[in-house]
Structure 1
Amino acid sequence: MPARTRTKRRSSLPPLKLSTLLPSHYNLRPDEVNTVACPDCQTWQRIMGDKTKTIRDHYSTDLSGAELGAGQRDTRCPSARRIVEIDVTIAQWAQQVEEGSTQVAARRPTKVLRKVPTPKPAALHQLAPAAPTADSARRASEAHRARCAECSGTETCPTGLRLEGDVRVLRYREPQRVAAQARAEQEQRRAERRRAGQESGRRRAEWAGVRLRVLAADILRELPLGGAVGPIRGVEVPADHEDTREVSRARAEARTEQAIRAASPVRCEAA
């Protein structure tokens, strides 16, 4: 960009204090050029001067003559050559920048954890059929013979023969299946007894941990309190067979009538 005529006049705006800006809007690193974000045009500008610090003389658009459009004028920024007061030390500025970066890192969203979809139960036609037994095979064979027209007392269709063969095989394997089922049920009962024993052991360990505190609380509860008032005694319950509600109502009416007579003006004049 070609050089431009710069003025030595200072900006009429009040001095800009760095303590009023965010730490991310200026740079005070000793090994770099001190810069500040112009509060008017929002562009980064150098901080010029040795004794009196000022913002570099710049324009609002900061464009060259070739880049300006037709009828567009490049105006001087109001904060050009504005006095800058560096009222923040480098250590303070570095600490503010570190604290700001820590807060920004804490505000960043954490990793999104996808919700595990709830498993859907399988449909009825997708469920695996139960293992056949000798009884279920026999019922299936009898139902087939009752519906099949080819199966009679002396003849049997191929499907009927297959079902009868399944019945024979399952009857042969029935003792093994019953024994395996009994072993599985026995193992399940053993596992339940082990879990019950572990639960009782855990409860005993918990009670052993709080037993002394419970005993101390019971002893303190039985000790009499110093300076305490004795138990509150309520109205004695009548031992006769009178209707306590009717008696209370009659007594209340008598007290009301006595109060009316005491406040009656006729009685006062007579007295």
Structure 2
Amino acid sequence: MPARTRTKRRSPLPPLQLSTLLPSHYNLRPDEANAVACPDCQTWQRIMGDQGKTRTIRDHYSTDLSGAELDAGQRDTRCPSARRIVEIDVTIAHWARQIEEGTTQVAARRPTTLLRKVPTPQPVALHQLNPAPPTADSARTRFEAHRARCADCIASKACPTGLRLEGEARVLRYREPQRAAAQARAEQEQRLAERRQAEDRPERRQAEWSGVLLPVFVADALRRIPLHGARSPILGAQVPVGARPIARTRTADEVLAASPLRTQRGRSSTPGSLSV
């Protein structure tokens, strides 16, 4: 690849002041090479020159063609900001403070934790529900229903399934007194809890009333004080409450006599009127 031509001529564009750029578009860290984002080609370029002397943007090209393209006869286009004078008119401390403030604002805009929506629990299917615990009556009903439709149980004494159902019915019938006693105790405890709750309700209600008794008393006292210049609805303007007199209803002859058409006919029939 042929060597690229470099020039020492500076860019005719006015000097680039770093204070006019965003803090994130240039780098002034002491332990790193100073660099700036070229305002024309938007690429990061190094700031050449020593401190205290004229600083310029590194000579670079805006096209940046490869070797094959250069061999084909094409030429790179020099960036207008190549070797442009750079004025570092900001201090490193001020630039670092701006970078830190920008980083803090960006971190504050982003949520620290991701709050995912809690999925709605789906109810289980009917066949997945736990059935009610069997009782002596339900076990005996299942055993009798099986014997009624099982051919082996009808022909012989019992099949293995029938023997199992019969054994379960016998065990549940033996345990039925214990189950009934446990159910009776549970129902009795529930009734006692409901009775205690009903007995405690008036006391709790009274305690609640005692807590708001003073504000209620003050509100009643303030309501009884008459307001200055105010009139209650009862003491307002007198409204007639008596029966309104009903006008006499006119007869048909009176209505016909007062009709405009009847009056016009009567005038046209007077003596001296001309008839057409």
The 8 Å contact of residues 34 and 47 in structure 2, kept in 1 or not, is answered as yes
The 8 Å contact of residues 36 and 46 in structure 1, kept in 2 or not, is answered as yes
Change (3 A) 1:134 1:231: same
Uncovered stretches (5+) of structure 2, i.e. residues with no partner: 248-276
Please name the residue that 1:26 is paired with.
Answer: 26
Report the secondary structure of 1:24's partner residue: helix
The 8 Å contact of residues 65 and 75 in structure 2, kept in 1 or not, is answered as no
Counterpart residue identity of residue 99, structure 1: E
> Quick check: 1:57 aligned with 2:53?
no
* 1:207-235 CA-partner distances (Å, limit 9, x unpaired): 88x84994597278448587554446655
Uncovered stretches (5+) of structure 1, i.e. residues with no partner: 248-271
1:125: Cα distance to partner? 2.8
RMSD of aligned Cα (Å): 4.5
1:81: Cα distance to partner? 2.3
Query: How many residues in Structure 1 have an aligned counterpart in Structure 2?
Result: 241
Please name the residue that 1:157 is paired with.
Answer: 158
Please name the residue that 1:12 is paired with.
Answer: 12
Of 78, 81, 92, the residue aligned with 1:79 is: 81
Please name the residue that 1:177 is paired with.
Answer: 179
* 1:6-25 CA-partner distances (Å, limit 9, x unpaired): 223x3222222212211111
1:200: Cα distance to partner? 9.8
The 8 Å contact of residues 35 and 45 in structure 1, kept in 2 or not, is answered as yes
Q: Following the alignment from structure 1 to structure 2, what is the Cα–Cα distance between the partners of residues 20 and 196?
A: 78
Q: Following the alignment from structure 2 to structure 1, what is the Cα–Cα distance between the partners of residues 88 and 40?
A: 19
1:70: Cα distance to partner? 1.7
* 1:77-98 CA-partner distances (Å, limit 9, x unpaired): 2112222233323222112111
| Misfit runs of 4+, over 6 Å | 63-67, 149-152, 190-208
Q: Following the alignment from structure 2 to structure 1, what is the Cα–Cα distance between the partners of residues 3 and 207?
A: 87
1:136: Cα distance to partner? 1.7
Q: Following the alignment from structure 1 to structure 2, what is the Cα–Cα distance between the partners of residues 38 and 197?
A: 84
Please name the residue that 1:39 is paired with.
Answer: 39
TM-score (normalizing by structure 1): 0.64
1:103-114 equivalent positions in 2, closer than 5 A = 103-108=105-110, 111-114=113-116
Report the secondary structure of 1:68's partner residue: helix
Change (3 A) 1:217 1:171: same
Of 103, 106, 110, the residue aligned with 1:101 is: 103
Counterpart residue identity of residue 96, structure 2: A
Change (3 A) 1:32 1:190: farther
Counterpart residue identity of residue 218, structure 1: A
The worse-fitting range, judged by mean Cα deviation, of 199-208 and 183-192 is 199-208
Q: Following the alignment from structure 1 to structure 2, what is the Cα–Cα distance between the partners of residues 90 and 205?
A: 70
Counterpart residue identity of residue 118, structure 1: T
TM-score (normalizing by structure 2): 0.63
* 1:36-89 CA-partner distances (Å, limit 9, x unpaired): 111112222233343443323333346797883421212322112222233323
The worse-fitting range, judged by mean Cα deviation, of 36-45 and 109-118 is 109-118
